[in-house]
Structure 1
Amino acid sequence: MLHVFVNDGGLLRWVRETPEETVPPPLPASAVWLDLINPSTEELARAEALLGTSLPTREQMAEIEESSRLRVAGGVLTMTITALVWADTDEPRIATVSFVLAGRRLVTIHDIDPQALLAFRRRATHGQVPASRGELVLAALVDGMVDRTSVVLRRTGLELDALNRRYFRGRTLRSRGETLDDAETLKRIGHAGHLIGKERLSLASLSRMADFLARGEGWNAGKATRRWAKTALQDLRGLDQYARFLSGKVALLLDTALGQINVEQNEIVKIVSVLTVLLFPPTLVATIAGMNFSDMPGEGAPLGYATALLLMLVSALLPMIYVRLKRWL
């Protein structure tokens, strides 16, 4: 899918194309931003004809070498980053987004819409975005990704704080007998760690691009662009430090949750072991008293049954008192 935005008096205006046309017309010369979503071969060819340069293929976008992701050739800037998508779902993913800056035009190529890019395109569709050239669109898109990253990290931090309050009460762990769904808690901690890991991968990619733009090597970068890139780089580094802090918090909560589960399991095993010891003496008395021999002592005694019950009760109470005195339970 191809979205075309042109400069209309300093504002981005979406150019609606009619799909009924068998031969699509050339793209307008006033185009400032071309947004290619899972583009077809024909759409790529139309964009390349307008820019006068080739666009990266899916194989080139999948390369991980920095020299392949960030390069300048013939004054055309090609930058590929990894962005977090579907952060609000149970299956966050990393998607590849390429930015091609050629003169005053910007081309974005991606298969999945990052939330920040989708929100910006919706605003631009309604004519609410002032941008007269591609560099301004690029800056707005990156700023949107930085803001989106900060929102996701802030929300993840609040989630971890809630889990921390559930497990800790000041300097103490949760009280004995307090019921928590340990399986659900571990799932939430694991999801938070998984999300933070993908966020850090996206932050590293954005930081490399911002540093590349701030240096302005090999292309005619304006002072305003370099100044913006340096500011964005500072924000990204701050977010990366916060993500590192959250990663440590995830590790602490995971260790705490697993330790708490281990303590509870040990408590259960201890209770079962002590109960087994407490029930052993009365079981022994009942076993001896129930032997089928013709000459059993006390077999004909009138109080034999009551005596056996009393002996079983006493043999159970004495170990219980001993256990309580030792504070084993």
Structure 2
Amino acid sequence: MMHVFVNDGGILRWAKGAGAHGAPLPAETAWLDLVTPTHEEQAQGETAMGLALPTREQIAEIEESSRLRRASGAVHMTVLVLALAETEAPRLTPVRFVVAGGRLATIHYMDAQPFLTFRRRTVRQGYGGTSPDAILVALLEAVVERTAGVLRRTGAELDSLSSRAFRRFDPGTAETDDTRTLKALGQCGHVLAKARESLVSLRRMLDFLMRGEGDVALRKAARRWARGILQDVDGLDQYARFLSSKVGLLLDSTLGRITVGQNDIVKLVSVLTVILFPPLLVSSFFGMNFDVMPETDRVFGYPMAVALMLISAVLPVWYFKRRGWL
């Protein structure tokens, strides 16, 4: 799908129906947002930008020279954007920014939330900036803001898990579902790993802008903005590192709780085995099928055997309690 935004008197606005049925794009086109473009839309974008746009395979390349480069008067930059962060399968989708001929093109194959939010806001009320660097700044700010929101939500979830992990252990309460806690911690760790990878790609792109590599197509204002937003990215990265260490602490605590619970179960089974062994020995002895058995001809033989079994069961319990094992 291709979304076309034009310069309408200094305001960025959505050009509804632009480029439909292969028609040429308006001369006022300022931003092309290509989401999983078709071959026809790819060709239209290449005509408007005056250069060949990268394919899906080229966008997915991980070499630094492929992600951040300047060629033929155009600037190519790739950023990994966090997508599907609220689901059980968060993903990173690469987004290629191409600046050429006074226009900005973005190519991505998953419509991440920052781009969707910015487009909707622009469709409703427009955006007060039509230069490539102004649109680029707005989009990257949306990506950073989205990442910050994901980290805040993950931090709040970890706080909730902390109160569950460090309260007094009570295996009878329904809240101590360690399996659910482990699953939640794994999900938080997965999201944090994706967020940190996205922040690393953002930092590399900002360093690229600060070095002036994109000076052919970007103004100095974008480089000044890059220096400012880099502080936010560094702060978010430090916060993500802190949350990652918190995930490790909670994971160790939860596994410790599971180990303690398992030890208590083994301890209980061991105590029951010791308690039941003497009565079982007595009953086995008096249950032997021999003609000549001591005490079998006594009137009080049976009560005596029962009493002996009870005494042999009570004595270990008394001893264990005295030693503090129960």
- Report the alpha carbon displacement of residue 229 of structure 1 after superposing the two structures with TM: 0.8
Identical-residue share of aligned pairs (%): 54
Read off the aligned partner of 1:42 and give its amino acid letter: E
Partner of 1:182: 178
Partner of 1:121: 119
CA deviation digits over 1:162-219, x for unaligned, max 9? Answer: 11110113xxx53454451121111100010011001111110011111111221352
2:324 pairs, out of 297, 321, 327, with 327
Partner of 1:2: 2
Give the TM-score normalised by the residue count of structure 2.
0.95
Contact 1:86-1:93 at 8 Å conserved across structures = yes
- Report the alpha carbon displacement of residue 153 of structure 1 after superposing the two structures with TM: 0.5
CA deviation digits over 1:79-137, x for unaligned, max 9? Answer: 01111110111111111110011142110000101101110011112233222212111
Contact 2:19-2:44 at 8 Å conserved across structures = no
Partner of 2:231: 234
Partner of 2:277: 280
Note the 1:111-150 alignment, pairs <5 A. 111-150=109-148
Partner of 2:189: 193
Contact 1:13-1:124 at 8 Å conserved across structures = yes
Return closer, same or farther for 1:134/1:196 CA change in 2, 3 Å cut-off.
Answer: same
Partner of 1:204: 200
Partner of 1:38: 36
Partner of 1:69: 67
Give the TM-score normalised by the residue count of structure 1.
0.94
1:89 pairs, out of 65, 87, 90, with 87
Partner of 1:99: 97
Contact 2:19-2:25 at 8 Å conserved across structures = no
Does 2:254 align with 1:257? yes
Q: Determine helix, strand or coil for the equivalent of 1:26.
A: coil
Gaps of 5+ in 1: none
Does 2:303 align with 1:306? yes
Does 2:8 align with 1:12? no
What CA distance in whole angstroms lies between the structure 2 residues aligned with 1:315 and 1:164? 46
Contact 2:98-2:104 at 8 Å conserved across structures = yes
What CA distance in whole angstroms lies between the structure 1 residues aligned with 2:148 and 2:17? 35
CA deviation digits over 1:227-281, x for unaligned, max 9? Answer: 1111111111110111111111111111111121111111101110111001111
CA deviation digits over 1:294-318, x for unaligned, max 9? Answer: 2222222222211111111111101
Contact 1:166-1:174 at 8 Å conserved across structures = no
Return closer, same or farther for 1:218/1:133 CA change in 2, 3 Å cut-off.
Answer: closer
What CA distance in whole angstroms lies between the structure 2 residues aligned with 1:74 and 1:232? 28
Return closer, same or farther for 1:193/1:100 CA change in 2, 3 Å cut-off.
Answer: same
Contact 1:150-1:239 at 8 Å conserved across structures = yes
What CA distance in whole angstroms lies between the structure 2 residues aligned with 1:144 and 1:174? 43
Read off the aligned partner of 2:169 and give its amino acid letter: R
Gaps of 5+ in 2: none
Contact 1:186-1:257 at 8 Å conserved across structures = yes
What CA distance in whole angstroms lies between the structure 1 residues aligned with 2:236 and 2:79? 17
Return closer, same or farther for 1:203/1:262 CA change in 2, 3 Å cut-off.
Answer: same
Return closer, same or farther for 1:112/1:218 CA change in 2, 3 Å cut-off.
Answer: closer
Return closer, same or farther for 1:82/1:275 CA change in 2, 3 Å cut-off.
Answer: same
Q: How many residues align?
A: 324
What CA distance in whole angstroms lies between the structure 1 residues aligned with 2:54 and 2:96? 8
Contact 2:95-2:108 at 8 Å conserved across structures = yes
What CA distance in whole angstroms lies between the structure 1 residues aligned with 2:286 and 2:277? 14
Does 2:287 align with 1:290? yes
Partner of 2:53: 55
Return closer, same or farther for 1:26/1:176 CA change in 2, 3 Å cut-off.
Answer: closer
